[in-house]
Amino acid sequence: MTLFQSQLGQLERAIEHAGSYQQYKEACEAHDDLSGANDWKAKDPCRLYDYRLIRKRVQRIKFAQSQNNISGLMSILHEGLHGNLGNIANPELLGHCKIGTKHLIEEFITQVVSALEQIYHADEAHIDFYDKLSFFEETAHAFGRSCLMLSGGAGLGFFHCGVVKSLNEQNLLPTVISGASAGSIIAGMLGTRTHGELLEALSAEFIFEHFQNWRLWGGLGRKSLLDSRALENTLITLFDLTTFEEAYKKTGRHITVTVSPADLHQYSRLLNAKTSPNALIMQAIRASCAVPLLFTSVQLKAKTASGDIVPYIPNRRFADGSIMADLPFERLARLYGVNHSIVSQTNPLAVPFLSGSRTQAKTLSSMTFRHIRQLAKANSIYAFDIMEHLMPNRSSKLAIHKVRSVIDQQYVGNINILPQKQLRNLMQVAANPTLESIQELISSGERATWPQLDVIERNTKISETLRSRLRALKAREARLFDHVPEGIME
């Protein structure tokens, strides 16, 4: 083995066994330097993206900035700013280095952010305040935003803690977050706790203290196999009687909890500060965690203006959110304008069939396999539609409808963070956790997130700058008129 190969091997082992993100990042940077990936980053030309378009856009922005031409900057950004301009978000670019991307792409993002700051701070003697506000409103809406979606996964859902812990430490948590089943617990914690409070709440010791006995045998002959009292007591301790609106006012995070109906002719619901502001987070999460057979379905509850607790959607009961809406991307897009998703996926029905690869396969065999998989999914849905139509029994129809919903869902996003495919992970799905198993799952979630952090930062930097400056402008407008307009924290 040559010295070069030996050094690369040492760095790859350092990446694999890094004890922190800083160690991981330093090892990746050293690997890119030694392997020649940094030379690839420094060269603009590449068939994987339109480098001529990006280079020209950078030059135009720089020239407008040098002239302090604010109207020109607005025009340049208005005419073509979006998250994948010139294919700069092409996942195939990630396969050429351990961390980072083309310097030209990074310069473009930096230049756009700099231009947005220059527009925000521009002298209002030359550009009207409301022209600024209008620009940021329109551009933020057109550009879109990212969301974080936390899937179901029962005991494996503690993996999400490591994912959000890494994002929180790097200040990369999106403000739009959804959770289903086990993921709803972590989403609830994100919605009700500040940055500092999350540092404690996401520790293995905190999680173990509250969830060590979530699985208690209820016995045969009852409505469910498991006794829900321990889980319910924990949810009361964590969330009390907080509503979605109250949580949003505290943290500014738009959290959504998905629930599935226990009725045949109902559809899954997304509970959040927009759709159900007065609904109790605790009861919504309890419903989302109600895996059929294991836990009983739940009646949702809400808080009135006087503080009374009343039924929400009376005469309806709800169950496990991951059955029908594990990753409700399309409805989040309508509600919050998201067009980019970060998925922490622990659903045991999906993970074994998903790939954590950072690039899209282009071989003939991989394309054939993808086509066969799509055909199998379509044929399965058709078969279940026929069975549901022919079944005379209502309970049988409901069961078939739920199974069809599981098959028909999309389980991946733009960025996917997956646990390792290990048999012991499956064994943790329905088991009471130990402190060691929680520590291992959190560590696994952190490590799985590290390779994605620089990608997430690039993909969210512009949208977060737009939203941050828009919030500041709306706050100024509120002070001018001595009121707080609806959606000030949007």
Instruction: Point out the least confidently predicted range of 85-94, 209-218, 280-289, 295-304.
Output: 209-218
Among 199, 196, 227, 225, smallest CA distance to 213 is for: 227
Average pLDDT over residues 28-42: 95
Residue 489 has pLDDT above 50, yes or no: no
The reply to whether 396 belongs to the active site is no
The amino acid present at 161, given as its one-letter code, is C
Residue 228 DSSP SS3: coil
What does the pLDDT read at residue 78? 86
| Crossing angle of the two packed helices 244-251 and 182-192, in degrees rounded to 10 | 50
* 82 — pLDDT class (breaks 50, 70, 90): confident
Instruction: Point out the least confidently predicted range of 73-82, 355-364, 431-440.
Output: 355-364
Residue 47 DSSP SS3: coil
Residue 224 has pLDDT above 70, yes or no: no
Task: Write the pLDDT tens digit of every residue in 263-289.
Answer: 655 678 899 999 999 999 999 999 998
Is 374 exposed, middle or buried (CB count within 10 Å of its CB: 0-12, 13-18, 19+)?
A: exposed
Q: Are 161 and 193 in contact (CB under 8 A)?
A: no
User: From CA 149, how far away is CA 336, in angstroms rounded?
Assistant: 13
Residue 2 or residue 427, greater confidence: 2
Task: Assign residue 98 a region (left: φ > 0; alpha: ψ between -120 and 50; beta: otherwise).
Answer: alpha
Average pLDDT over residues 196-206: 90
> Which residues are within 8 A (CB) of 315 and not within 5 positions of it... i.e. 6 or more apart?
none
Q: Answer whether CATH 3.40.50.300 is correct for domain 145-358+412-452.
A: no
| Crossing angle of the two packed helices 281-288 and 182-192, in degrees rounded to 10 | 160
* 488 — pLDDT class (breaks 50, 70, 90): very low
User: From CA 326, how far away is CA 348, in angstroms rounded?
Assistant: 12
* 478 — pLDDT class (breaks 50, 70, 90): confident
Average pLDDT over residues 304-313: 93
What does the pLDDT read at residue 398? 55
Q: Are 184 and 289 in contact (CB under 8 A)?
A: yes
User: What is the pLDDT of the chain when averaged over all its residues?
Assistant: 85
- Tokens 């091997």 locate to 9
What does the pLDDT read at residue 362? 62
Q: If residue 415 lies in a helix (H) or strand (E), which one and from where to where?
A: strand 415-417
Residue 468 DSSP SS3: helix
Structure tokens at 348: 């045991």
What does the pLDDT read at residue 63? 96
Among 97, 39, 49, smallest CA distance to 358 is for: 97
User: From CA 312, how far away is CA 477, in angstroms rounded?
Assistant: 35
Which of these is catalytic: 320, 405, 437, 444? Answer: 320
Which of these is catalytic: 146, 151, 181, 260? Answer: 181
User: From CA 373, how far away is CA 241, in angstroms rounded?
Assistant: 44
Residue 29 or residue 5, greater confidence: 29
Q: Are 156 and 425 in contact (CB under 8 A)?
A: yes
What does the pLDDT read at residue 274? 95
Average pLDDT over residues 129-135: 94
Residue 468 has pLDDT above 90, yes or no: yes
Q: What is the Rg, in whole angstroms, of the alpha carbon atoms belonging to the chain? A: 24
Instruction: Point out the least confidently predicted range of 71-80, 232-241, 243-252, 481-490.
Output: 481-490
The contacts found for 64-71 with CB under 8 angstroms, 24 or more apart, are 64/115, 65/111, 65/114, 65/115, 65/118, 68/118, 70/118, 70/119, 70/122, 70/126, 70/127, 71/127
Q: If residue 63 lies in a helix (H) or strand (E), which one and from where to where?
A: helix 51-66
Instruction: Point out the least confidently predicted range of 123-132, 444-453, 478-487.
Output: 478-487
Q: Are 345 and 417 in contact (CB under 8 A)?
A: yes
Residue 111 has pLDDT above 70, yes or no: yes
Q: If residue 148 lies in a helix (H) or strand (E), which one and from where to where?
A: strand 145-150
Strands (E), 206-351: 216-217, 226-227, 254-261, 269-271, 301-303, 309-311, 318-319, 338-344
The reply to whether 50 belongs to the active site is no
Residue 395 or residue 307, greater confidence: 307
Average pLDDT over residues 131-137: 95
Instruction: Point out the least confidently predicted range of 461-465, 477-481, 482-486.
Output: 482-486
Residue 392 has pLDDT above 90, yes or no: no
The contacts found for 109-114 with CB under 8 angstroms, 24 or more apart, are 109/458, 109/461, 109/462, 111/58, 111/61, 111/62, 111/65, 112/61, 112/77, 112/81, 112/462, 113/461, 113/462, 113/465, 114/65
In 3-state terms the chain splits into helix, strand, coil percentages (rounded to 5) of 60, 10, 35
Residue 261 has pLDDT above 60, yes or no: yes
Q: Are 450 and 170 in contact (CB under 8 A)?
A: no
User: From CA 255, how far away is CA 189, in angstroms rounded?
Assistant: 9
Task: Write the pLDDT tens digit of every residue in 393-427.
Answer: 665 655 565 566 666 667 788 899 998 765 555 66
What does the pLDDT read at residue 358? 47
What does the pLDDT read at residue 79? 82
Q: Are 268 and 321 in contact (CB under 8 A)?
A: yes
CA terminus-to-terminus distance, the chain: 56
Determine the Cα angle at 430 with ends 425 and 431, to 5°. Answer: 80
* 125 — pLDDT class (breaks 50, 70, 90): confident
Residue 78 DSSP SS3: helix
| Crossing angle of the two packed helices 435-481 and 159-169, in degrees rounded to 10 | 40
* 371 — pLDDT class (breaks 50, 70, 90): low
Residue 179 has pLDDT above 90, yes or no: yes
Residue 455 has pLDDT above 70, yes or no: yes
User: From CA 89, how far away is CA 454, in angstroms rounded?
Assistant: 12
Per-domain boundaries in the chain: 36-143, 145-358+412-452
Residue 48 has pLDDT above 90, yes or no: yes
Instruction: Point out the least confidently predicted range of 94-103, 179-188, 220-229.
Output: 220-229
Residue 364 has pLDDT above 90, yes or no: no
> Which residues are within 8 A (CB) of 482 and not within 5 positions of it... i.e. 6 or more apart?
none
Residue 234 has pLDDT above 70, yes or no: yes
| DSSP β-ladder status, 216-217 and 176-180 | unpaired
Residue 314 or residue 403, greater confidence: 314
